[in-house]
Structure 1
């Protein structure tokens, strides 16, 4: 059974930018039959949320990446998810990282 990934999508207010990025990411992962739980958070919430649940990936839809994210968690700029251009490459690179991390 494939692992269910935990992905955080974050922006300044956890509203429009992160919601759009989340919707496009869900569509891209569903097209590849990838199971993931995708949560939206404010960037200011990330350190505590990362400590609590240890996501596999953090996508920054808008704003600055916190310096406190552990190195074993992939951090991705969400610009392709916002613009609609480059989504396939972003998702392919993310999945390559996750599969290599697993083993």
Structure 2
């Protein structure tokens, strides 16, 4: 069985990011990792597996960003989840 889901992720302007890491430190959900070009928010698949690492839209990352690179004008990300994926994740986790 397949389920269509959507997820909201903050927008990042990579040209304004200085890689300071304040967003990573501020996130209470540990949903932000620092990539080579700026913050990367937890993908929906990871969130499905471990809800503790899901962005809960608190916008603390936006508040602490000194350059305004992060905005909470959320992008809706869609994906399809199926139970076979869930079983594979459960057996690997």
Q: Which structure's residues are more often strand, by fraction?
A: 2
TM-score (norm 2): 0.30
Greater RCO, 1 or 2 (C-alpha within 8 Å, sep 6+): 2
Structure showing the higher helix proportion among its residues: 1
Task: Give the TM-score, by structure 1 length.
Answer: 0.28
